[in-house]
Amino acid sequence: MSDIGVAEIPVDADELPLSEPPLMNALLDGPILRTLLWLAWPNVIALSAGTCVVIAETSYIGRLGVDSLAAMALVFPFVILTMTMSGGAMGGGVASAVARALGAGDTERASVLASHALLISISFGVAFMLGMLTFGPHLLEILGGRGHVLAQAIGYTRIFFGGAVLPWLMNSMAGILRGTGNMKLPSLMLLNASVCQIILGGTLGLGLGPIPQFGMRGVAAGSLTAYLISISVMGWYLFSGRARVVPKVRGLRIQVAMFFDILKVGAVACLSPLQSVLTISIFTHMLAGFGTAVLAGYGIGARLEFMLTSVAFAIGIGSVPMIGMAIGAERVARARRIAWTAALVSFVSVGALASIIAMFPELWVNIFTDDAGVRAASRHYLSTAAPMYAFVGLATAMYFSSQGAAKMLGPVLAQTARLVFIGCGGSWLSTRDATAANFFTLAAVSMVVLGVLSCLSVILTRWGPTRAGVLPIRAAAMPASYSKVPALPAALSVSPLSLDGKAADYR
């Protein structure tokens, strides 16, 4: 047999010699549960420190008085909107885009995507700053803020959102690093930010030694200073060439396609926290009519929900690069297995912790206040709603899995359904002279609705490349002008499974 003849024989990849096996990518080939937990544990530690921030911040705000607690309950939805949109939504979109590029073996594209991600974060940060400084006071008043409570809430808003670019930039840098599979540095920076927030926020809020007491303004300033420190470290790491992806600056050409690759996930994902905050805001407005004690009690319970959801966040954000790389490599079946593994771990872990607090609410409530009315309202809310936090954890895992697959519409619609459920149910209860306990039950049921619909959205949504069908060839007379076109050799023919010649996995 001639050399030419041998060269024309296509060789199956499975029959290649085993002397030099390809390097194994743990995110693409490693055991799913073990790899997921390995990626998640740095985030769990960092977000546990974030839990300490929630406890410490609420504790020293409680020392400022019940009015300050109520003011924080008013501001809290907008702060959460900023952090979840910049970190979970757009940050996840950035991680997904970078991971998909790396999964396809295109490091240059990943670097250009990183640069565009930073531009997006600055733009969104400026938009938040202008929006909240202009309309924030009016929004807080609509939510039920009055008198001294409203004044303290406005003071916090002006400081925090005056530096809104900082949390956006910090979370975008973290998203770039997470997309490469580096969970340790972003988590370390979150840990650093948490420690600095506790120290600086408490010092500036309550006053220490020669430092005067700045109240709510000081708490906000402490948060921004902590973010700035983390930005400095991650920026140095990214631009010094130590990261797997270096944001391209020199010779960068702005490309609409790069913005689209990030925003098709990140922008759509932003609708979910936006609706979530709108849901919380509507619910807060409904509870404001029951008095300051009920509002402050609900605020304490809502902070626990945020804290426990951060556990699901840690697991979910760990699944994004795994799923993104699997989708980029067209291994859709593996991507789905990762998604359901993350969902199960999130549901069980969040549900176990929340159930303990539901049975013993004093473990959480007594940390923050001595006011009997606030304690009673918070205990009632937690005993009713906390067992359902597991479904919020489930929805969070589905949300991040969908980010990795770049299929965000389903989880967003699930959040829309929860918003409509709260709005319609709350309106109906308002016409029935319902008690605060009835509204707490409404909140609990809405969490179940969110979790179930989020799972259904993943089940019903097709992941991976669209099947590219090949038009059938009819037996017809060929014009004479085509008779001179040579046929392709069999070894060069393209499989109808995909347009780029790769055998795609459509499971």
Question: Binning pLDDT at 50, 70 and 90, where does residue 88 land?
Answer: confident
CA separation (Å) from 376 to 156, 381, 388? 27, 9, 20
pLDDT for the residue 73 = 79
* Residue 147 CB burial class (10 angstroms; 0-12, 13-18, ≥19): exposed
Question: Binning pLDDT at 50, 70 and 90, where does residue 263 land?
Answer: very high
pLDDT for the residue 420 = 94
Contact 140, 216 (CB under 8 A): no
442-460 pLDDT, tens per residue? 999 999 999 999 999 999 9
Question: Binning pLDDT at 50, 70 and 90, where does residue 481 land?
Answer: very low
12-49 pLDDT, tens per residue? 444 444 444 444 567 777 888 898 988 888 888 877 77
DSSP 30: S
Question: Binning pLDDT at 50, 70 and 90, where does residue 479 land?
Answer: very low
**Residue with the larger pLDDT of the pair 502 and 398:** 398
Return the half-sphere exposure (C-beta side, CA atoms, 13 A cut-off) of residue 383. Answer: 12
Alpha-carbon gap, residue 184 to 41, rounded angstroms: 9
| pLDDT above 90 as % of the chain | 37
Alpha-carbon gap, residue 287 to 131, rounded angstroms: 25
Residue 467 has pLDDT above 70, yes or no: no
**Nearest by Cα to 305 from 196, 368, 391:** 391
Six-digit token string for 282: 């509507």
Of 167-176, 273-282, 305-314, 463-472, which gets the smallest average pLDDT?
463-472
Question: Binning pLDDT at 50, 70 and 90, where does residue 503 land?
Answer: very low
**Residue with the larger pLDDT of the pair 237 and 59:** 237
Residue 347 has pLDDT above 80, yes or no: yes
Of 120-124, 269-273, 392-396, which gets the smallest average pLDDT?
269-273
174-194 pLDDT, tens per residue? 999 999 989 889 989 988 888
Mean pLDDT over residues 192-207, rounded?
A: 87
Of 220-224, 257-261, 274-278, 465-469, which gets the smallest average pLDDT?
465-469
For the four alpha carbons of 263, 264, 269 and 270, in that order, the dihedral sign comes to positive
Residue 154 has pLDDT above 70, yes or no: yes
Residue 266 has pLDDT above 70, yes or no: yes
95-106 pLDDT, tens per residue? 999 998 998 889
pLDDT for the residue 313 = 85
Q: Average per-residue pLDDT in the chain?
A: 82
Six-digit token string for 104: 């396809």
Task: With residue 118 as reference, give the H or E element that holds it.
Answer: helix 107-142
Mean pLDDT over residues 56-78, rounded?
A: 81
Question: Binning pLDDT at 50, 70 and 90, where does residue 489 land?
Answer: very low
Alpha-carbon gap, residue 325 to 401, rounded angstroms: 12
SS3 371: coil
Residue 488 has pLDDT above 50, yes or no: no
Alpha-carbon gap, residue 491 to 19, rounded angstroms: 25
405-439 pLDDT, tens per residue? 989 899 999 999 999 999 999 999 988 888 888 99
Contact 429, 370 (CB under 8 A): no
Task: With residue 375 as reference, give the H or E element that holds it.
Answer: helix 372-385
Mean pLDDT over residues 42-70, rounded?
A: 78
Six-digit token string for 464: 């991976």
Alpha-carbon gap, residue 244 to 415, rounded angstroms: 35
pLDDT for the residue 288 = 79
Contact 240, 93 (CB under 8 A): no
The full length of the chain comes to 507
Six-digit token string for 152: 């303290």
Contact 161, 133 (CB under 8 A): yes
Question: Binning pLDDT at 50, 70 and 90, where does residue 465 land?
Answer: low
Mean pLDDT over residues 320-341, rounded?
A: 91
CA angle 137, 272, 401 (to 5 degrees): 145
94-136 pLDDT, tens per residue? 999 999 899 888 999 999 999 999 999 999 999 999 999 999 9
Can you give 187-219 as a three-state secondary structure string? HHHHHHHHHHHHHHHHHHHHCECCECCCCHHHH
Residue 477 has pLDDT above 60, yes or no: no
For the four alpha carbons of 399, 404, 408 and 410, in that order, the dihedral sign comes to negative
Of 223-232, 261-270, 363-372, 394-403, which gets the smallest average pLDDT?
363-372
pLDDT for the residue 201 = 86
